[in-house]
Structures are given as structure tokens and as C-alpha cells.
Chain A
């Protein structure tokens, strides 16, 4: 199991040929209280960098981009009733979607945990 991060603060936790996508703890902190999450339809095919979901705080709406290309095979319906879960447990219960990777080599272009923590330090 490996977790990779994008510069837009999405993570993907890869298990086998699929990955769980969410936003980092830093991202949820920057957004503030999440009040609404719009999820993609299961079965949707995404290219890396596509707008995959929308997360709204009291202040503003932000896009969540697909960290890799693939098919959406599951989404976290719990977020519709409890969007605040994104703030409480972004790496766990606050996940957004599960993507079946079509091109696993795209992971090589993403940051490791260590690289991401360095990146966050450099921008905050």
C-alpha cells in the first residue's frame, strides 16, 4: 500500500489496481468547515487532472482533481449527509472516491508522503 500526493493536495492510497482518493489534512485545514461535497458518478472515466469532485466550505467552492487516470468504481456516499467528516478524518472516513487505475505509471509523477510534507512546509 502506497500513498501519493498531488500539488493540489489530493492523495491517492493505492491498494492493488485501485486507489482511494481524498484531500490531505493540510487541504482540509485550509478549506475550513466543509459543508457540501459533490461526488462523481460511479462508472465515470477520469483523466489525470480532470475535475473529479467539488468540496465546499462556508466560504467557497473548490475542485478536487483526479490524481491519476481511471474509472470511478466507488464513492463515499456518507459525505453527502456528513460533509464535516472531511475535516475530522480526511485520510480515513473522509475519503471521496475509489478509482481503478488505467495507467499506474502516473503514480511515479506524484509526491511521496515525505516529499509532500516538504512541499507543504515550503508553501506555508
Chain B
């Protein structure tokens, strides 16, 4: 997700827009959509509720699309996508999902995305993509222009997408679709909930166990209402989504990663599987391989300010003696940590955990330390 797009264009609405308004949400423009930043209880309460129970997020603004091989071959469609991203798509099992990045020729990150090998019968040769709302037009144009003959991109703007996140998510969804309880992290399944077709994946953007659920737009409000009827579930806005993902150490596109950062600098080497590291064959492979071998000159790190003052995006990072060594790309207050947390890029020589740094906030250097991420432990069901 990137900065809100301000323009004279009328804001788009997700299929859940009326639900947010009815719940009393504060609506803000985000990536061209009118989205809930928070509901009446506020960001802190929503954040903590998600960590302790289950939060329901409308993420229908994100881009959902299918890549389809005419010859119904997984290999055909996988190779087409592998030409654009550094993940191993070929060895995905049916229904398996992977995080990756669309890369430019210099290994800058054009966007990050989720890729799933569709497992539904009759869909061999299909990949399901989820891309950032703010980047979808660019992403689709980029992908479209680089597809080989026989592979097509079908954008599915008529789908809704919601995320159910938190320790109660498994039990809540199992009450409606018992088979989802057994899904491991980053696997997906097609299920029916009260006659509604849902594509459910065990994934999310909060560091908690949970699911992302895609359904037809016209069914989204019914499914949302059904999930929200469970006393363990509350609606959560974009504000808490951001504080949750920051504590989980997850990158926000347009902030922590963009066209000026490589996946290795960003610490995303885990998302590049062994075969791709060795073989290359994706945009920017030469740089990625050389950074894997020799290290990147700067890296993304977690940072804990020592006082109570949050350091926000753009704060300059220096050594205690004032040498400028980097910049904060995300920062704020972590409700679960109960203190300020940040991430940013620093020169390699000051990137070790525990290194003393200063963050320049309103002209004043505030002491901070490089810290391990995530700030709040991941609780995925592996």
C-alpha cells in the first residue's frame, strides 16, 4: 500500500463501503478508494482486539487477478511469471501461496504481491495474484506488456477481499467452514459459507494467525456481516492495519520498499527460493545475485527508540557522533510493544542488532538501538 492518491477523480468504493459507514467508520481517501481508517473505538482498541481476539479488515481495494495459460499448463504460466518475479513459481503446489515482488531491470521493487497456484478443479495453468491497491494499474500494464503469447491476465475487479486476523480467527472461521481449521500457513482452499463461494488463504498482514478471504463482490456484505456477528470479531480499519504490520516487521510498499530498494537490501531474501537465487532469470537478477554474494551496502533494520517519542517516516538516522547513516521508512507507536517502533535503511556497518543510533525527530537527536524484527512475535500456524 502506498500514499493516498489525491486527485479530482471521484473516490472508488469497495463492496463493503456501506457497511463501514453504518458502523460509524471515519472514512479517508486511500489509493483512490474511500476507506475506513478507524471505527468509533479507535486504533489502539482495534489493534489490541486483533492481537487478542479477531479483527476483520476490508482489503477489497487490493488488486485481484488471474494469470491463465491457454494450454492449461502450470509450467507455461509459472515460467511467464518467473520472468517478472524472483520467487519459485514452478514448484508451487496446488493451493500454495507465496510472497514475492515485481522487479525492475535494476532490481528495484515495482510492487510486492501474493501469488497462488489455483487448486480448484479445472484450473490447471491458473495463478491468482493479489497486488497493492495503489499500484494495480501500473502492475497490470507492466505484466500485460511482458506476457508471452498463450498467457493472459484477467483482472477481477468484481471480487471482494477481507482479512480475518488474530488468535480467534481459526475458531471463528471454523464455525462457518470447518475445513479451514486444518489449512497450514500460506495454503488456500475454496469453501462455501452459507452458499457463498469463498477462496480462503491462511495468510495476512498483521503477524497473527488468520485468513484472507476472497468472494464475489455481491456476496461480500453478507459474508462480512456473518463474520462480524461472531462476538470474537470486530471491524478493524487501515490505521490499526498499519500499526499491526509495523510491529510484525512487514514492509509497506511505497514506504519500506519501492523502486529504489532491492529485495536483498529490504531483507526479503527469504522470499527468493534457492533455484531462483542460483539460476537468476528474473529482472535485476545480476544485482540480486551480487548482493547475495557480497552483501548490500545498506539494509532494512528494525529500530527501537529508547524514549517514548515515536520517530516517523523520513526521520534521519545518524550514529551517536552525528554521522548520517540512513533514514526511517516506517515508524510510530506500537501498542503491543507499548512504545515507539520503527524500521528504516542503514549502512551495513551500523546494522547489527544492538547498535546505538540516533533518530533526528523535530531537529533533536533521540537515542535508539537497532532491534530484531518482528517487534511483536509472529503467530502463524505453520
Residues of A at under 8 Å CB distance from B?
A: 32-33, 35-36, 38, 54, 56-61, 80
Contact = CB atoms under 8 A, between A and B. Distances in A.
Contacts of B340: 36
Interface in B24-80: 37-38, 42-45, 47
Contacts of A80: 308
A54 B362 contact: yes
Contact of A58 (B243, B308, B309): B243
B64 to A, nearest CB: 27
B333 interface: yes
B38 A32 contact: yes
B43 A38 contact: no
Given A36-B309, A54-B362, 16 more contacts: A32-B38, A32-B239, A33-B43, A33-B45, A35-B333, A36-B308, A36-B310, A56-B309, A58-B47, A58-B239, A58-B243, A58-B332, A58-B333, A59-B242, A60-B312, A61-B312
A38 B312 CA distance: 15
Contact of A56 (B38, B44, B47, B333): B333
A88 to B, nearest CB: 12
Nearest to A59: B239
B335 interface: yes
B43 A58 contact: yes
A33 B310 contact: no
A36 B42 contact: no
Q: Could you say which of A32, A35, A61, A80 has the most chain B C-beta atoms within 10 Å of its C-beta? A: A35
Interface string B291-317: 000000000000000001110100000
Interface in B312-331: 312
B362 A56 contact: no
Nearest to B43: A58
Interface of B: 37-38, 42-45, 47, 239-240, 242-243, 308-310, 312, 332-333, 335, 340, 362
Contacts of A57: 43
A38 B38 CA distance: 24
Nearest to A80: B308
Contacts of B332: 58-59
Contacts of A33: 42-45
Contacts of A38: 309, 362
A58 B312 contact: no
A35 B334 CA distance: 9
B49 to A, nearest CB: 13
Contacts of B47: 58
Contacts of B333: 35-36, 56, 58
Contacts of A32: 38, 42-44, 239
A60 B310 CA distance: 9
A51 to B, nearest CB: 9
B38 A35 contact: no
A85 B312 CA distance: 23
24 contacts: A32-B38, A32-B43, A32-B239, A33-B42, A33-B43, A33-B45, A35-B44, A35-B310, A35-B333, A36-B308, A36-B309, A36-B310, A36-B333, A38-B309, A56-B309, A57-B43, A58-B243, A58-B333, A59-B43, A59-B239, A59-B332, A60-B312, A61-B312, A80-B308
A36 B338 CA distance: 11
A80 to B, nearest CB: 7
Nearest to B335: A58
B239 A56 contact: no
Contacts of B362: 38, 54
Nearest to A37: B308
Nearest to A56: B310
Contacts of B37: 59
Nearest to A84: B44
Contacts of B310: 35-36, 56, 61
A33 B240 CA distance: 11
A33 to B, nearest CB: 4
Contacts of A60: 312
A54 B309 CA distance: 10
A61 B335 CA distance: 16
A35 B312 CA distance: 13
Which 10 A-B pairs give the minimum distances between C-beta atoms?
Answer: A35-B333, A33-B44, A58-B43, A33-B42, A58-B333, A32-B42, A36-B308, A59-B239, A58-B243, A32-B43
B245 to A, nearest CB: 13
A109 to B, nearest CB: 27
A80 B308 CA distance: 8
B246 to A, nearest CB: 10
